[in-house]
């Protein structure tokens, strides 16, 4: 309370009023006594004059001095009689004489030797002479009484001031202390704490204010509880929304009215290859430098229908599609941008176009040949038996090629649509490998190619489908024999490597340039199209091999060097554990 500015202000005001009242009281009574005492002295002098004047008129001039001396000896007041000449001589320095000469009566007070005197002068006539009676009365007793009374008054005033200050202090304290408690309680309420010290029994305004604060505290506690519950619900919803946004494969960006980035999920940083600290709180046109992005953001902020734009990110080699939608508000308070990675979609679209083009071309080529040979035969070539046989052989070759192409397309279609359900089980890989090698020995000898196998001492099993595994080995051997010139060699190796079985098909053929090695497993992709058609390839064999390896949970890779040959490596899961037991 002693530090309360309001307390000291009110106390100072009441203390000042008390002091002023006490001082005014003392000064007023002192002045009143003074104004009462001096007229009484003057009245006594007038009474004395009325008594003495008749006597002075009768007393002879020679006895006048003795008469006055006798009176002066017994009276406090000094009486003297002056002639007009004596009065005129002293009139310049003594105002009472000047008044008496001018008005026949004069009064004044003057100090003399540290004393104060009351003078009364009156003009009279005696024995035909104008005289002036002058009475001088000392005011020592009046002054002493005035000092005594003034001292008592000032003591009383200071006593009243002290009592008033004490009473003021107590009264102001009784007012300020509850206010101080109410202020402290209000501060606690502002901090969200439960206020203390609001139990007032008084029915005045302070009590009413305390009861109001108690009601307010109960209402605020209820509101805070509701707000805390709502805040918790909002936080849970925010966490759920953040979790959903983080788990989305689409990138989500939120910008405000000034195009400043407010939010971005982790997918955005991956798609754009940026760091969060260098991306957040930046303008969208600075973070994503593309004119169309800025255009659709501005369109969304202006309330226009959203558009979809695509742009390439050089750092990640990705193609992204972006859609912008305005946030609620009029005008829009911001916009939400959704990023989609359409790189694979565009790549698949290109592959589809290439696939359709390649299928059309591959089907058109044998059909055109068959049509040409048939037309030639119908135009008279049938008469020549040798030519007829040659053309029919060519028609048979092209029909076989067409049949193989269609069979490969059907196989790929089944793999893509998973129409063909493979029963994966341990398969005797050694048996199938050796069988396939034996079946290709005739082709290898006809082309003067050495086909050899390098097998481990024990049999090897893999998790696969027997027909599918047979297709993998046959296609790899066909590919190796087709692209290996006469005098070359094709080597097939297989062995176990931990949990995997490894099959290597190595040739000494023409090899594959490095720039083509990543695409040779694509459908209809050929490194040398003319050479591929000469050897009768459809361009689908390696694609089928890759699909089958993936279905069986394995993989395939190639290493090659132009002029030195190629090596295809297939990895499939072992069908036996380290103890030789078959996996079930």
Q: What is the CATH number of the domain that holds 318?
A: 3.30.450.20
Looking at the fold, whether 275 and 296 belong to one and the same domain comes out as: yes
- The domain of 74 spans 5-147
Question: What confidence tens digit (pLDDT) does each residue in 390-404 have?
Answer: 878 778 777 877 776
Domain boundary among 294, 325, 341: 341
Burial of 210 (0-12, 13-18, 19+ CB in 10 A): buried
Q: Per-residue pLDDT for 175 more than 90?
A: no
**513 part of a folded domain:** yes
DSSP per residue, 509-531: SS---HHHHTTTTSTT--SSHHH
Domain boundary among 125, 147, 169: 147
Which of 439-448, 513-522, 543-552 is predicted most confidently?
Answer: 439-448
Helix, coil or strand: residue 288: coil
Predicted local confidence at residue 578, as pLDDT: 45
**511 part of a folded domain:** yes
Predicted local confidence at residue 507, as pLDDT: 92
* pLDDT band for position 530 (cuts 50, 70, 90): very low
Cis status, amide bond into 331, omega within 30 of 0: yes
Looking at the fold, whether 357 and 475 belong to one and the same domain comes out as: no
Looking at the fold, whether 441 and 523 belong to one and the same domain comes out as: yes
Q: What is the CATH number of the domain that holds 510?
A: 3.30.565.10
Helix, coil or strand: residue 120: strand
Q: What are phi and psi of 231, to 5 degrees?
A: -65, -40
Looking at the fold, whether 405 and 434 belong to one and the same domain comes out as: no
Q: At what angle do helices 466-482 and 541-551 cross, to 10 degrees?
A: 150
Query: Shortest CA distance to 136 belongs to which of 115, 122, 117?
Result: 117
Token pair belonging to 261: 């980035």
* pLDDT band for position 113 (cuts 50, 70, 90): low
Looking at the fold, whether 533 and 461 belong to one and the same domain comes out as: yes
Looking at the fold, whether 428 and 568 belong to one and the same domain comes out as: yes
Looking at the fold, whether 408 and 431 belong to one and the same domain comes out as: no
Q: What is the CATH number of the domain that holds 121?
A: 3.30.450
Q: At what angle do helices 385-417 and 541-551 cross, to 10 degrees?
A: 30
* pLDDT band for position 525 (cuts 50, 70, 90): low
Query: Shortest CA distance to 253 belongs to which of 238, 266, 240, 243?
Result: 266
**173 part of a folded domain:** no
Q: What is the CATH number of the domain that holds 384?
A: 1.10.287.130
Q: What is the mean pLDDT of residues 167-186?
A: 75
Supply the DSSP symbol for 12: H
Residue 206: other Cβ atoms inside 10 A = 17
14 near 168, Cβ under 8 Å?
Answer: yes
Looking at the fold, whether 362 and 504 belong to one and the same domain comes out as: no
**pLDDT cut 90: percent of the chain above it:** 11
**578 part of a folded domain:** no
Domain boundary among 289, 309, 341: 341
Question: What confidence tens digit (pLDDT) does each residue in 187-245 have?
Answer: 777 776 776 666 666 666 667 777 777 787 778 778 878 888 888 888 888 777 777 77
> In the beta sheet, which residues pair with residue 138?
117
Which of 63-72, 106-115, 414-423, 473-482 shows the lowest mean pLDDT across its residues? Answer: 414-423
Give the C-alpha separation, 81 to 97, whole Å.
Answer: 12
Q: What is the mean pLDDT of residues 403-417?
A: 63
Looking at the fold, whether 265 and 372 belong to one and the same domain comes out as: no
Looking at the fold, whether 517 and 386 belong to one and the same domain comes out as: no
**226 part of a folded domain:** no
Please give the mean pLDDT across all residues of the chain: 78
Give the C-alpha separation, 112 to 140, whole Å.
Answer: 11
Looking at the fold, whether 74 and 99 belong to one and the same domain comes out as: yes
Q: What are phi and psi of 312, to 5 degrees?
A: -100, 140
- Residues in CB range of 23: below 8 A, 6 or more apart: 157
CA-to-CA dists, residue 508 to 248, 304, 559, angstroms? 49, 64, 12
Looking at the fold, whether 292 and 377 belong to one and the same domain comes out as: no
Number of domains in the chain: 4
Q: What is the mean pLDDT of residues 375-381?
A: 75
Give the C-alpha separation, 207 to 178, whole Å.
Answer: 9
* pLDDT band for position 149 (cuts 50, 70, 90): confident
Angle, vertex CA 481, rays to CA 479 and CA 484, nearest 5: 105
- Residues in CB range of 31: below 8 A, 6 or more apart: none
Query: Shortest CA distance to 18 belongs to which of 205, 172, 204?
Result: 172
**264 part of a folded domain:** yes
DSSP per residue, 350-418: HHHHHHHHHHHHHHHHHHHHHHHHHHHHHTTGGGSHHHHHHHHHHHHHHHHHHHHHHHHHHHHHHHHHT
Predicted local confidence at residue 533, as pLDDT: 47
- Residues in CB range of 88: below 8 A, 6 or more apart: 101
Report which of residues 32 and 123 the model is more confident about.
Answer: 123
**241 part of a folded domain:** no
Supply the DSSP symbol for 4: -
**428 part of a folded domain:** yes
Q: Per-residue pLDDT for 540 more than 80?
A: no
* pLDDT band for position 417 (cuts 50, 70, 90): low
């Amino acid at each position: 309370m002693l530090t309360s500015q309001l307390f000291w202000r009110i106390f100072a005001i009441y203390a000042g009023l008390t002091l002023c009242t006490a001082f005014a009281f003392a000064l007023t009574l002192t002045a009143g006594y003074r104004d009462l005492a001096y007229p009484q002295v003057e009245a006594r002098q007038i009474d004395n004059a009325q008594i003495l004047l008749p006597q002075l008129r009768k007393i002879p001039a020679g006895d006048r001095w003795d008469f006055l001396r006798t009176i002066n000896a017994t009276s406090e007041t000094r009486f003297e009689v002056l002639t007009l000449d004596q009065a005129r001589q002293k009139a310049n320095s003594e105002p009472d004489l000047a008044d008496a000469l001018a008005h026949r009566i004069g009064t004044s007070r003057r100090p003399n030797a540290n004393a104060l005197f009351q003078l009364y002068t009156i003009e009279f006539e005696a024995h035909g002479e104008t005289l002036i009676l002058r009475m001088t009365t000392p005011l020592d007793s009046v002054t002493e009484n005035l000092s005594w009374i003034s001292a008592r008054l000032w003591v009383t005033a200071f006593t009243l001031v002290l009592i008033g200050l004490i009473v003021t202090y107590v009264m102001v304290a009784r007012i300020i202390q509850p206010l101080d408690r109410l202020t402290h309680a209000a501060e606690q309420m502002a901090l969200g704490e439960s206020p203390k010290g609001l139990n007032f029994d008084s029915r005045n305004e302070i009590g009413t204010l305390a009861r109001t604060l108690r009601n307010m505290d109960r209402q605020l506690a209820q509101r805070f509880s509701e707000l805390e519950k709502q805040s918790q619900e909002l936080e849970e919803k925010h966490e759920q929304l953040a979790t959903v946004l983080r788990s989305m494969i689409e990138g989500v960006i939120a910008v405000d009215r000034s195009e400043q980035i407010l939010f971005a999920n982790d997918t955005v940083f991956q798609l754009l290859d940026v760091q969060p600290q260098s991306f957040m709180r930046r303008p969208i046109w600075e973070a994503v430098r593309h004119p169309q992005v800025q255009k659709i953001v501005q369109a969304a902020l202006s309330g226009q229908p959203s558009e979809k734009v695509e742009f390439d990110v050089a750092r990640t080699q990705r193609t992204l599609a972006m859609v912008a939608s305005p946030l609620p508000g009029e005008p829009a308070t911001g916009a939400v941008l959704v990023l989609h990675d359409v790189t694979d979609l565009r790549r698949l679209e290109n592959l589809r176009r290439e696939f359709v083009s390649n299928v059309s071309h591959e089907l058109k080529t044998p059909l055109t040949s068959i049509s040409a040979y048939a037309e030639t035969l119908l135009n008279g070539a049938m008469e020549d038996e040798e030519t007829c046989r040659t053309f029919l052989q060519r028609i048979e070759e092209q029909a076989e090629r067409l049949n193989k192409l269609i069979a490969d397309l059907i196989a790929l279609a089944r793999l893509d649509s998973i129409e063909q359900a493979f029963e994966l089980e341990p398969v005797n890989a050694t048996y199938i490998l050796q069988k396939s090698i034996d079946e290709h020995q005739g082709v290898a000898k006809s082309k003067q190619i050495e086909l050899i196998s390098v097998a481990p001492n024990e049999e090897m099993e893999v998790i696969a489908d027997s027909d599918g595994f047979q297709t993998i080995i046959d296609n790899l051997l066909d590919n190796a024999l087709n692209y290996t010139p006469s005098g070359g060699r094709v080597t097939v190796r297989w062995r176990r490597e931990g949990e995997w079985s490894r099959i290597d098909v190595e040739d000494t053929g023409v090899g594959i340039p490095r720039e083509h090695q990543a695409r040779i497993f694509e459908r209809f992709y050929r490194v040398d199209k003319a050479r591929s058609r000469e050897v009768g390839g459809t361009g689908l064999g390696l694609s089928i091999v890759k699909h089958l390896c993936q279905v069986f949970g394995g993989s395939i890779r190639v290493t090659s060097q132009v002029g030195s040959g190629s090596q295809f490596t297939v990895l499939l899961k072992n069908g036996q554990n380290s103890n030789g037991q078959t996996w079930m």
